[in-house]
Structure 1
């Protein structure tokens, strides 16, 4: 096992400019494209990448902005989302540090104040001027630190910290940066630093923690010299971004993204524990897991063999898992990128993070080797065109929008392989603390981080959709796919995703209802008994229509008579092309009365899908009604198959032929699945 002290540590020490040059050379060898600066292999955010397609030397200088400071593209999207769902802490960014020892409270307070005074972004609020949101920087000098007391019971300070991490900010009033010291004993405290994503990202957190530690040491040692001034303000960069990233400048990159994302599905429709709500609550949970040292080394080895990166290997495996749990072969995920491709941005607090949309085609049951090659090519292409802000991409592609899910992608993935910085304060032991504020931004977000010889993972999930056990099922599947794929990358996805014996046993048990109880009636017998004993009781309520058991029986027999007249006999299949209405249960009963099996045909399916199902199931007849008559009358049903209209006025009242015996082994229905359930 090789500890991450070689190449990873050397990369971690590179400046953004040096890293850009390194990645440009790497991409130049890998593709025929012009070498251009690209992304970091890891950041405090996700470790994915953050490239731009323009060479650093050819970019215009960032000069001091004059007048009202505009929002960056990323800030503008966050502001819009806040208007849709105000009063939530879903865009809070936070870090918690356990401090054990004799803490100098005055030095800590001064160090935090120095941070806010030094970084204008931390003193920024958002106000609306002439209908347009702009940045306004509050004056320096505000005290940042709040101190609260917590009981010394186990987890008491953590509960306070998680509540504080979820407490929302007021974008207009501010401040959008706060620090809370939660003291549970004289020599024990928890420091929580929180900011709105509007004024800082994960890279910013690393910058702020570094400066906090150095500022505390300086205060303790009586140093009065101010740190070197920052090269620019966040507002200067936001104004430069607005001025530079014009449609003309981005034209080639937008063409790439239009071609790459043409026809993407609007939603990754994963199997969920609950239906998707019309508007998400953003309540979330987290589950953690570890890829052991052996698997971590295997991932690195597979990456080297394929001239790829661990990010690409794990992304390919994650997309395979998402295919398995959605039944879709066109898989789109979002990858957060640092967005700091210029050297002068490395030391700034602010929101620079961007998102790339990475798409994979998993059709045709490829080998993992083939999938990884595709993911590698896709990733390099995306990094080469990463200058387009995600917000600008959404506007360009204009995808179908819905309040219930995010545009373009709903699942996020990140990989960080830059070693964590060591934290130290004089006389105080500092330990990072893992917090969960109970909120989430996407359906699923998976982040992997190299930690010594192992890889730590966090899967954040929407509680609107998933239980913790479902998230754990996904991460367990990811680990299983990685183990199989790194052992033999020539395995096909169907082999990588094959059920374990334990899973197969669970599936078999779930699908086996056991033998019917002795003397249990079949469906038609039970229905006939209900008609006899409760003829006037309500059986069906649909919209404004109500059918009693007697009326339902009469309706079902009438439709069964139509089917018999159309030639349906026991053992035949009958298509059901009705929308949801009172006639639908009558039609299902009618098919069973004839001894047939019904075939559901959703009228909203594409014509090609309906044509395929009808051709494959070979029904003797297809039931339709007024709302669906035209949909099935235009070449959907094979020649010779009767279309039986249950709404036809001239339909004779024919009594269904009696079914003297019901064969318990005979099929009752034939359903064509999308693959996710079958």
Structure 2
């Protein structure tokens, strides 16, 4: 084959990988297999056909991009299985806990119980999960150079049953809230607990709570699936049939530490250093009050459901612009922040699952990483053009997602505007929610959306995208914002969502975020037409002074 043909084919394959990413399909190769992650609702059919047609070439191209130094390799950590290695993310959460984060990093799952839950089978199922996933039975003691991690033995009971029959809804709500706010002791562990609140025969609530240092959102889904599998096996007296994990979390953590010493990691440091230069001066929504001690306290929630017709238009905008619905919503949210902050330099944080290797997909642990997305919603831009800029920011950030967030923070310098991060708004997009119901055989669990607890951010925006609807909620730190301000923000976002869906080719400055009442209120504050004093201008004062001292 001629060299020119080889180069041409390589360019074609490179363009196909890039085009797939622009359409929300992220390709990778591992172990001679082609893998993908979707940031859109479904795999575009035409794109799928092209990828299948050129699958061997894609695998060869993607593997060729992975030099020994740039490829993130997972390996078994040195030492015995009892040796525990922590990740940089765990180190950061341990520091936050030492600074008094308390229950801020609890991860509660609230499940309604219908049927009779067997406490013995439940206890044994939880113990099987603890044995399977080392982060849940790891303790974090304080050492000279940071946390000292150890695996625990002799763990006491994990499952508690509390009879609340006849106590009423208020007492039940208070108990659920109290359990979610009960802090873990990282030095003692374990980092998983379960409480069954029995409200009557065949009725109750199961509370499964983990600490974020040992788990992430992906882990919550695994926890529910494995609890059901182990529970049913215990009830039926049979083997559980779950495949053993290929690696431990310690293997992942050690691999991350190895990678941090490579030139590939240094390349990502250079990207983030340049991308986030001067981040402290980016837009921030004015707060109603400043937090004196840096602790954000309790969070409250306000939100809305996007009308079905509007949701369809948003999906169409995403399809036309070859991006995800999340990118569309992110672009809209930054227009809102820009308008409130009177700035066109906006930084919003989001999270990525950070499980790009198949061997860690079945592990409970803290894998998630935080990305800071910095965009510039300039007022004269057409929304469609701005959306494509946002898409490119997402793609570039995802290409540099391996650098742990604590290292990204270190590149930003010492300025910290928030108690936990150098950004004000965290935006989370969920399109793969846990199963609505979990069948245990003699009982069924139904997922319930938990109420907001302790605030980790001044503003947390969560978009939950299902086939039927899009729900958007804003959790706000009550120490920073009044309910009226939060309602105004959400109202403005709702108006922007509808306006963009109606005309995505409008310029950003033409979109209104104010309600009629808010607009009229601002005019009233101005007092209507104000008298104009010509002598109060700079040139008027100059002329007056010249007349006084000719």
The two structures have a TM-score, normalised by structure 1, of 0.68
Task: Kindly report which structure 2 residues correspond to 1:603-618, keeping only aligned pairs within 5 A, or say none.
Answer: 617-618=538-539
**Is the aligned partner of 1:80 residue 2:78?**
no
Tell me the CA shift for residue 254 of structure 1.
1.7
1:256 maps to: 271
**Is the aligned partner of 1:41 residue 2:39?**
yes
Task: Kindly report which structure 2 residues correspond to 1:176-195, keeping only aligned pairs within 5 A, or say none.
Answer: 176-195=191-210
Rg larger for: 1
More moved, 95-104 vs 346-355? 95-104
Match of 1:319, SS state, is helix
The alpha-carbon distance between structure 1 residues 40 and 148, as it changes in their structure 2 partners (threshold 3 A), is farther
Out of 66, 69, 74, the residue aligned to residue 61 of structure 1 is: 74
Match of 2:74, SS state, is coil
Q: Is the 8 A contact 1:39 1:337 kept in 2?
A: no
1:217 maps to: 232
1:238 maps to: 253
The alpha-carbon distance between structure 1 residues 482 and 260, as it changes in their structure 2 partners (threshold 3 A), is same
Out of 3, 17, 34, the residue aligned to residue 25 of structure 1 is: 17
- Which ranges of structure 2 fall in alignment gaps of 5 or more residues? 1-12, 30-35, 42-63, 546-550
Out of 351, 361, 386, the residue aligned to residue 336 of structure 1 is: 351
**Is the aligned partner of 1:112 residue 2:123?**
no
Tell me the CA shift for residue 226 of structure 1.
5.6
User: How many Å separate the matches in 2 of 1:22 and 1:164?
Assistant: 51
Task: Kindly report which structure 2 residues correspond to 1:497-512, keeping only aligned pairs within 5 A, or say none.
Answer: 497=512, 499-512=514-527
The alpha-carbon distance between structure 1 residues 618 and 207, as it changes in their structure 2 partners (threshold 3 A), is farther
Match of 2:209, SS state, is strand
2:471 maps to: 456
CA deviations 1:203-230 (Å, max 9, x no partner) are: 1000001111112211221113563211
2:407 maps to: 392
1:572 maps to: 535
User: How many Å separate the matches in 2 of 1:374 and 1:296?
Assistant: 22
Tell me the CA shift for residue 500 of structure 1.
3.9
1:369 maps to: 384
The alpha-carbon distance between structure 1 residues 618 and 69, as it changes in their structure 2 partners (threshold 3 A), is farther
Out of 82, 94, 113, the residue aligned to residue 108 of structure 2 is: 94
Q: Is the 8 A contact 2:313 2:501 kept in 1?
A: yes
Q: Is the 8 A contact 2:21 2:395 kept in 1?
A: no
Out of 430, 437, 442, the residue aligned to residue 427 of structure 1 is: 442
Match of 1:325, SS state, is helix
User: How many Å separate the matches in 2 of 1:314 and 1:448?
Assistant: 8
User: How many Å separate the matches in 2 of 1:393 and 1:300?
Assistant: 32
Task: Kindly report which structure 2 residues correspond to 1:125-204, keeping only aligned pairs within 5 A, or say none.
Answer: 125-139=139-153, 142-150=156-164, 151-204=166-219
Q: Is the 8 A contact 1:267 1:410 kept in 2?
A: no
**Is the aligned partner of 1:298 residue 2:296?**
no
Out of 386, 397, 417, the residue aligned to residue 431 of structure 2 is: 417
Tell me the CA shift for residue 450 of structure 1.
1.4
Match of 2:279, SS state, is coil
User: How many Å separate the matches in 2 of 1:114 and 1:498?
Assistant: 52
More helix by share: 2
1:547 maps to: none
Q: Is the 8 A contact 2:296 2:457 kept in 1?
A: no
User: How many Å separate the matches in 2 of 1:341 and 1:54?
Assistant: 16
User: How many Å separate the matches in 2 of 1:197 and 1:23?
Assistant: 39
The alpha-carbon distance between structure 1 residues 251 and 298, as it changes in their structure 2 partners (threshold 3 A), is same
Q: Is the 8 A contact 1:144 1:179 kept in 2?
A: yes
- Bigger relative contact order (CA 8 A; separation at least 6): 2
Tell me the CA shift for residue 176 of structure 1.
1.7
Q: Is the 8 A contact 1:274 1:464 kept in 2?
A: yes
User: How many Å separate the matches in 1 of 2:342 and 2:450?
Assistant: 33
Tell me the CA shift for residue 186 of structure 1.
2.5
Tell me the CA shift for residue 42 of structure 1.
8.2
2:33 maps to: none
Out of 491, 495, 520, the residue aligned to residue 506 of structure 2 is: 491
Task: Kindly report which structure 2 residues correspond to 1:257-336, keeping only aligned pairs within 5 A, or say none.
Answer: 257-266=272-281, 268-336=283-351
Aligned residues between the structures: 496
1:379 maps to: 394
The alpha-carbon distance between structure 1 residues 35 and 160, as it changes in their structure 2 partners (threshold 3 A), is closer
User: How many Å separate the matches in 1 of 2:14 and 2:207?
Assistant: 36
CA root-mean-square deviation: 3.1
